[in-house]
């Protein structure tokens, strides 16, 4: 079989640090691939007025699989100021290239696993009976609808008259009828049957394949009746095809409370774009936070794998680099799973588990240090040392 080609997009800041670490681990585990670099991020915004150049889209179109580090985003006005002088005032408008990638390639299924590694000092603990301390083992995979809902950007401040009038046809809009339009901001939450069914189905298929006992819809169908209600109704239909998997319906607000009470009870969780973002950050916090949170953005043709953390620019220039490469390496494992290389992915995850369980090599976040250039002198592992330790444990 010819070698696969993976499009690598380090992006900005620590993206440029952690992505090469993941490639070292992929090499060490014997994954055979060619890597082509693709430009994305702030540098290309500044110099070309486009943080996601067409040549990057072309490479992804061709090779279908992307590994992404992180990008830096800044508010519109600040972004405009940093444009190269010759590009100023030419009408360039900044947009987030990762959101752009999700929309362009219709990467509608976002998967975010949150799994406890035993021995991680950042694991969530709680009090049990008689003041005992319990460390619940979390093994949750969040399926977040990635392209619809509140993030589509159909929104207005001072909505156009035809929009406002159309809304007034809804009886519940009456109480806003006399509010001056310029004092109204509206964001729409749009769900479609097609994409809602795709995310729900992906969740059930995953639960079935990997032996999870339950799928939980984390929405708010009793209040947000139409959109959350649609997801719950579809989940009830799909659940009939999986009688061995329980369907749970937990309101998003209650979910955020339960996840600190009984996180070990949950398996696969499904939510729309916004609630999925929230609940996945909540669970990530139980298993080590940003240094451990990995994700996949999967469409019908293209899939992109990335840590959920951003570019943490203040750490970009530290020598040696100090950030935790595990979130990026776990994202590469998700890529291997997607490519059917589960055995290699599991070997990497076991090596990470072994390093964490042993407890000798810990990055600054695991030691609860404040990120500073001297953390390595003070006993924290550098980024490279962590990767080396993981590679050394590969069986």
Q: Give me the residues that bind Mg ion (CB under 5 A), please.
A: 277
Residue of 66, 136, 267, 291 that binds ligand NAI (CB under 6 A): 291
Is 19 one of the binding residues for ligand NAI (CB under 6 A)?
no
Minimum CB–partner distance for residue 350 and ligand NAI (Å):
21
Residue 344 binds: one of Mg ion, ligand NAI, none (C-beta under 5 to 8 A by kind):
none
Residue of minimal Cβ distance to ligand NAI: 310
**Residue placing its CB nearer to Mg ion in the complex, 25 or 294:** 294
Taking residues 95 to 124 in sequence order and writing x for each that binds ligand NAI by CB under 6 A, - otherwise, the string is ---x--------------------------
Is 290 one of the binding residues for ligand NAI (CB under 6 A)?
yes
Is 311 one of the binding residues for ligand NAI (CB under 6 A)?
yes
Tokens standing for residue 277: 């973002």
**Residue placing its CB nearer to ligand NAI in the complex, 78 or 226:** 78
Residues 383 and 321: beta-carbon distance below 8 Å = yes
Q: 46-75: which residues touch ligand NAI (CB under 6 A)?
A: 70-73
Residue of 21, 219, 365, 388 that binds ligand NAI (CB under 6 A): 365
**Residue placing its CB nearer to ligand NAI in the complex, 75 or 180:** 75
Is 309 one of the binding residues for ligand NAI (CB under 6 A)?
yes
Question: How far is 351 from 392, CA to CA, in rounded Å?
Answer: 8
The counts of H helices and E strands in the chain are 13, 14
Residue 219 binds: one of Mg ion, ligand NAI, none (C-beta under 5 to 8 A by kind):
none
Question: How far is 152 from 278, CA to CA, in rounded Å?
Answer: 16
Minimum CB–partner distance for residue 293 and ligand NAI (Å):
9
Minimum CB–partner distance for residue 292 and Mg ion (Å):
14
Other residues' Cβ atoms within 10 Å of the Cβ of residue 86? 8
Q: How many CA atoms lie within 13 A of 310 on its CB side?
A: 9
- Residue whose C-alpha is closest to residue 113's, from 273, 324, 351, 337: 337
Minimum CB–partner distance for residue 152 and ligand NAI (Å):
18
**Residue placing its CB nearer to ligand NAI in the complex, 228 or 311:** 311
Residues 354 and 395: beta-carbon distance below 8 Å = no
Is 375 one of the binding residues for ligand NAI (CB under 6 A)?
no
Tokens standing for residue 152: 């589509």
Question: How far is 209 from 184, CA to CA, in rounded Å?
Answer: 47
Minimum CB–partner distance for residue 277 and Mg ion (Å):
5
Question: How far is 204 from 235, CA to CA, in rounded Å?
Answer: 9
**Residue placing its CB nearer to Mg ion in the complex, 148 or 277:** 277
Taking residues 323 to 362 in sequence order and writing x for each that binds ligand NAI by CB under 6 A, - otherwise, the string is xx--x-----------------------------------
**Residue placing its CB nearer to ligand NAI in the complex, 20 or 221:** 20
- Residue whose C-alpha is closest to residue 334's, from 311, 303, 299: 303
CA-CA-CA-CA dihedral for 333, 379, 117, 349, to nearest 10: 20
- Residue whose C-alpha is closest to residue 323's, from 300, 336, 334, 307: 307
Minimum CB–partner distance for residue 323 and ligand NAI (Å):
4
φ, ψ for residue 141, nearest 5 deg: -125, 120
Sequence-separated (6 or more) residues with CB below 8 Å from residue 149: 189, 190, 191, 227, 272, 273, 274
Other residues' Cβ atoms within 10 Å of the Cβ of residue 224? 18
Residues that bind ligand NAI (CB under 6 A): 14, 70-73, 98, 290-291, 309-312, 323-324, 327, 365, 371
């Amino acid at each position: 079989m010819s070698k696969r080609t993976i499009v690598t997009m380090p992006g900005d800041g620590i993206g440029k640090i952690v992505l090469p670490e993941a490639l070292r681990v992929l090499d060490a585990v014997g994954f055979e691939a060619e890597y082509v670099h693709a430009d994305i991020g702030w540098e290309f915004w500044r110099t070309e007025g486009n943080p996601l150049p067409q040549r990057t889209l072309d490479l992804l179109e061709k090779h279908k699989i992307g590994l992404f580090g992180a990008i830096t985003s800044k508010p519109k006005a600040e972004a405009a100021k940093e444009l190269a002088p010759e590009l100023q005032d030419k009408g360039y408008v900044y947009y987030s290239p990762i959101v752009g990638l999700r929309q362009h390639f219709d990467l509608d299924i976002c998967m975010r696993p949150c799994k406890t590694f035993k021995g991680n000092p950042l694991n969530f603990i709680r009090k049990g009976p008689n003041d005992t301390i319990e460390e619940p083992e979390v093994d949750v995979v969040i399926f977040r609808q990635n392209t619809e809902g509140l993030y589509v950007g159909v929104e207005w401040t001072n909505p156009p008259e035809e929009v406002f009038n159309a809304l007034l046809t809804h009886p519940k809009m009456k109480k806003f009828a006399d509010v001056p339009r310029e004092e109204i901001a509206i964001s729409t939450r749009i769900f479609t049957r097609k994409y809602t069914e795709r995310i729900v189905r992906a969740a059930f298929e995953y639960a079935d394949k990997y032996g999870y006992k339950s799928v939980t819809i984390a929405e708010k169908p009793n209040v947000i009746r139409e959109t959350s209600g649609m997801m719950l109704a579809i989940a009830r239909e799909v659940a009939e095809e999986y009688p061995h998997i329980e369907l749970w319906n937990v309101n998003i607000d209650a979910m955020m409370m339960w996840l600190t009470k009984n996180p070990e009870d949950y398996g696969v969780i499904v939510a729309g774009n916004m609630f999925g973002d929230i609940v996945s950050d909540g669970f990530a916090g139980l298993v080590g936070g940003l240094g451990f949170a990995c994700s996949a953005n999967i469409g019908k043709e293209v899939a992109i794998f990335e840590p959920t953390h951003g570019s943490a620019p203040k750490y970009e220039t530290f020598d040696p680099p100090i950030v935790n490469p595990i979130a990026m390496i776990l994202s590469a494992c998700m890529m291997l799973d997607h490519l059917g290389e589960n055995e290699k992915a599991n070997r990497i995850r076991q090596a990470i588990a072994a390093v964490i369980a042993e407890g000798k090599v810990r990055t600054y976040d695991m030691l609860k240090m404040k990120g500073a250039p001297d953390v390595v002198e003070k006993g924290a592992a550098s980024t490279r040392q962590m990767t080396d330790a993981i590679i050394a444990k590969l069986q």
